[in-house]
């Protein structure tokens, strides 16, 4: 009788642990949707998401001329990034620190 009681307690405890583990990915997925940032500047629409080690910035040039999108990150040194984008072009860039500012310039010169 003791073996059955121990086994049922162990099985119930395992079910609780598995239930918690199964709930974790659902709550993590909800958090990632909140960490996407969107905006527009000049000819560009852009978005980026909070990352653990890097940040990927996606951009779309909505003008009919070549333009440049540029920005700064939260780094103390080497904090600038820039991309020349064709008319109606899309692209992405990876930075290693949180994006802070965005700017746009027609003519596409970084």
60 within 8 A of 90, measured Cβ to Cβ: yes
Residue 88 has pLDDT above 60, yes or no: yes
Residue 8 has pLDDT above 70, yes or no: no
70 within 8 A of 82, measured Cβ to Cβ: yes
CA–CA separation, 30 and 48 (whole Å): 17
Mean pLDDT, all residues of the chain: 78
Q: What angle do CA 75, 81, 83 make, to 5 degrees?
A: 165
> What pLDDT, on the 0 to 100 scale, is given for residue 2?
57
Tell me the pairing of strands 67-73 and 36-41. Answer: unpaired
> What pLDDT, on the 0 to 100 scale, is given for residue 24?
41
Q: What is the mean pLDDT of residues 10-17?
A: 45
71 within 8 A of 100, measured Cβ to Cβ: yes
Tens of pLDDT, residue by residue over 70-85, are: 999 998 888 999 999 9
């Amino acid at each position: 009788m003791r073996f059955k009681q121990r086994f049922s307690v162990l099985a119930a405890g395992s079910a609780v642990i598995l239930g918690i583990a199964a709930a974790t990915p659902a709550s993590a997925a909800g958090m990632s949707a909140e960490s996407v940032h969107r905006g527009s500047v000049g000819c560009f629409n852009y978005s980026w998401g909070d990352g653990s080690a890097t940040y990927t910035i996606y951009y779309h040039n909505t003008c009919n001329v070549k333009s440049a999108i540029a920005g700064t990150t939260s780094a103390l040194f080497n904090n600038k990034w820039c991309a020349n984008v064709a008319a109606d072009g899309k692209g992405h860039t990876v930075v290693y620190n949180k994006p802070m500012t965005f700017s746009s310039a027609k003519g596409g010169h970084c």
